[in-house]
Amino acid sequence: MKLLTKSRFKLGLECPNKLYYTLKKEYANIKLDDPFLEALAQGGFQVEELARLHYPEGVLIEGNDWDYELLWQQTQDLLKQENVTIFEAAFLIDGLFIRVDVLVKTGNKIELIEVKSKSFDPNNEYLLVGKKGAMRPSWKPYLFDVAFQKYVIQSCFPEWKINSYLMMADKTKKASIDGLNQLFRISKKEVNRTGVTKKVSTLEATGNPVLGRKKISGIIKDIESNKHKYHTNLNFIESVEFLKDTYLKDAYANWPTSYKGCKSCEFKCNTNDKEQGLKSGFENCFTNQHQWTEEDFKTENIFDIFNFRKGSKLFDEGIFFKNQLTEDSISLMGDPEKLTTSYRQWLQIEKAVNNDDSIYVDEDGLKDEMETWVFPLHFIDFETSTVALPFNKGVKPYEQIAFQFSHHIYHEDGRIEHANEYINNTAGVFPNFEFVRALKTALESDEGSIFRYSHHENTILNAIYFQLLECNEKDKEELMAFIQHISHSKGDSAITWRGHRDMIDLWQVEKNFYYNPLTKGSNSIKSVLPAALASSSFLQEKYAKPLKDINVTSKNFKDNHTWLTLENEAVISPYKMLPALFKDWSEDDIENTLSEIEDIDNGGAALTAYGKLQYTDMSKNEVTEITSALLKYCELDTLAMIMIYEHFRELVK
């Protein structure tokens, strides 16, 4: 039975054309294998289980997930009671189907409660709707989701009086017990729909509540009255009917393309997808609506231009390709001392149009910058996590947890030393203060320059600084002074500082003085590293050799490991060459793993892995395997920074 569910309704609101591509195996979907989305989903399941403890009288409808009529019948049987609370109540009517996280029925008065793993501040009166009365974009999908649920329920029971609520993590509350997150363990999905098993049966066992409710009945009424619209050309009822009709007929909606929507579309193909015979929804839309030819799809378009805020306006004017752009199109102005955003954009456009793969480098500016750096050079990278349900007592929802760092040193004589690393893989242990102690020990022996890539490390040290401020650690003053020495305060900080040894942002250096067309406009280290390797004869010659032959030490890779790999004369990103998890395990052993992680080669996968170390009942061998993969991934992050530094050094010589 094909029905418009709330997940399909939300997808259709993003773009009605996606309803045609979803669930079709022949269309590529980059979101299906996103480890960060998987981590978010499991965090949501845990919050959902905690939310249910707030309603001990609740009855769960579980199993038979695809038997919609049975679920609807089970719900109707329970609703015959005057007063009842139902988890996963199902409602089916006229091609529409929803399940409600928590439904509280008291006579004909209904509480519709949508549980989300997002966080909120109950004191923020402008959380959902801004001061000017516009709904905040980040909350729009959730609020329209609830409005859809209410619409379906009201269609089934017109006489009901329904009030709507969001139940979320309250950022003003602190966990009063250690291991709150670990009380909701991830096991095999066969156990239940979510794969979560509770270690407790009462709310009291979880300590002080960290979840709160926010009433949203007024906003839902505003959606129903079309004060807030998702699409300007459709009111709420029209949206429901249009999306239902489109999905049930399996019709291509022919919804107009847009710069923002198509730029982020998940139904795109990479080369590997096409080799496997998969189709691209993105290409289907542009073929149908703009008559793009195969040659057009090979022509450089405007979607990948870095930070292109003029993209929507130009797209609406029918400008899709880089060869249609002029300097006036991007408001290129002046001759800056450092690369501005518009100059980077113009470099990207010009080089793409001219098939020019040569590097742009401001040699004088980069050289002047590098001459201020003090040897030995220290390169650090952090892996961190934030979760809705805190791992530790005294921690608020979504507080930063720093569980790992890697530290490389580049000595003035060219020696490269993987000097230090730290990881916490023990469930229930709050690592932040020990993390800073280990970092302090690693960096305090000299006054050499310290490098990070982007602002993440500075943000984390700021967060830990204020955690220290409220703690009773004996060495808190010493640790806070260290943080101030190597960082700077955020712009909205109540306490301000800029350290004498403030970390240098290699990401900003790259943005200011360097542009490599092979990055396609991205400044991510995952893009800059392979581009640098592909462009640098020095890096290619050096890193094609084993570690033992190039004066590079490692804590996690063997002496004969090489970092440069070519395939059809093209450089393969070192991140793609990280060893696969469970590579030497038997099929039976792999089948019994709980983490369901295949590789750790990006931040989302690292975050997921740490979460699973915290709340999954896995074996010691699996913990060891995941820990080893995390250490390898983080080590590569800091070595990647050194490779980029060496590339810059080569360019200014």
Q: What's the average model confidence in pLDDT over 558-562?
A: 94
pLDDT of residue 588: 58
The yes-or-no verdict on residue 10 having pLDDT over 80 is yes
Per-residue pLDDT band at 332 (split at 50, 70, 90): confident
pLDDT of residue 44: 80
The yes-or-no verdict on residue 191 having pLDDT over 60 is no
Q: Among 12-21, 68-77, 590-599, 600-609, whose mean pLDDT is lowest? A: 590-599
Task: Fill in the amino acid letter for 514.
Answer: Y
* Nearest alpha carbon to residue 449 among 365, 379, 509, 514: 379
pLDDT of residue 600: 74
pLDDT of residue 585: 66
Per-residue pLDDT band at 178 (split at 50, 70, 90): confident
Q: What's the average model confidence in pLDDT over 360-369?
A: 96
Share of the chain above pLDDT 70, in %: 94
pLDDT tens-digit series, residues 260-269? 999 999 999 9
Q: Among 153-157, 271-275, 398-402, whose mean pLDDT is lowest? A: 271-275
pLDDT of residue 412: 97
pLDDT tens-digit series, residues 471-498? 999 999 999 999 999 999 999 899 999 9
C-alpha 17/C-alpha 285 separation (Å) is 8
Q: Among 34-48, 278-292, 316-330, 580-594, whose mean pLDDT is lowest? A: 580-594
The mean predicted confidence, pLDDT, of the chain is: 92
Q: Do 530 and 536 touch, CB atoms closer than 8 A?
A: no
The yes-or-no verdict on residue 592 having pLDDT over 70 is no
Q: What's the average model confidence in pLDDT over 171-183?
A: 90
The yes-or-no verdict on residue 41 having pLDDT over 80 is no
Count of all residues that appear for the chain in the document: 653
Q: What's the average model confidence in pLDDT over 627-634?
A: 95
Per-residue pLDDT band at 272 (split at 50, 70, 90): confident
Q: What's the average model confidence in pLDDT over 559-582?
A: 88
pLDDT of residue 323: 96
Strand 416-423 versus strand 401-410 pairing type = antiparallel
Phi, psi of 197 (to 5 degrees): -120, 135
More confident residue, 438 or 39: 438
The yes-or-no verdict on residue 14 having pLDDT over 70 is yes
pLDDT of residue 334: 67
What tokens were used for 540?
A: 């290619």
Locus of tokens 């719900």:
75
The yes-or-no verdict on residue 525 having pLDDT over 90 is yes
Q: Do 520 and 304 touch, CB atoms closer than 8 A?
A: yes
pLDDT of residue 35: 56
Taking only Cα atoms into account, the Rg of the chain, rounded to an integer number of angstroms, comes to: 27
Q: What's the average model confidence in pLDDT over 191-203?
A: 76
Q: What's the average model confidence in pLDDT over 52-76?
A: 95
pLDDT of residue 619: 84
The pTM score is 0.91
Share of the chain above pLDDT 90, in %: 77
pLDDT of residue 596: 63
pLDDT of residue 597: 67
pLDDT of residue 338: 82
pLDDT of residue 40: 60
More confident residue, 498 or 184: 498
Domain range summary for the chain, segments of one domain joined by +: 6-248
The yes-or-no verdict on residue 604 having pLDDT over 80 is no
Per-residue pLDDT band at 582 (split at 50, 70, 90): low
Q: Do 640 and 590 touch, CB atoms closer than 8 A?
A: no
Alpha carbon distances (Å) from 212 to 60, 114, 119, 326: 21, 12, 9, 52
What SS3 state is found at 289?
helix
Q: Do 392 and 168 touch, CB atoms closer than 8 A?
A: no
More confident residue, 211 or 196: 211
* Nearest alpha carbon to residue 575 among 585, 565, 590: 565
Q: Do 556 and 635 touch, CB atoms closer than 8 A?
A: yes
Q: Do 328 and 314 touch, CB atoms closer than 8 A?
A: no
Q: Euclidean distance between the first and final Cα of the chain, in Å?
A: 67
Q: What's the average model confidence in pLDDT over 344-359?
A: 94
Residue 616 DSSP code: B
Q: What's the average model confidence in pLDDT over 89-99?
A: 98
The yes-or-no verdict on residue 589 having pLDDT over 60 is no
Q: Among 244-258, 285-299, 329-343, whose mean pLDDT is lowest? A: 329-343
Q: Among 83-92, 174-183, 595-604, whose mean pLDDT is lowest? A: 595-604
CA dihedral 588, 594, 599, 602 (to 10 degrees): 180
Measured on CA atoms in the order 346, 352, 353, 358, is the torsion positive or negative? positive
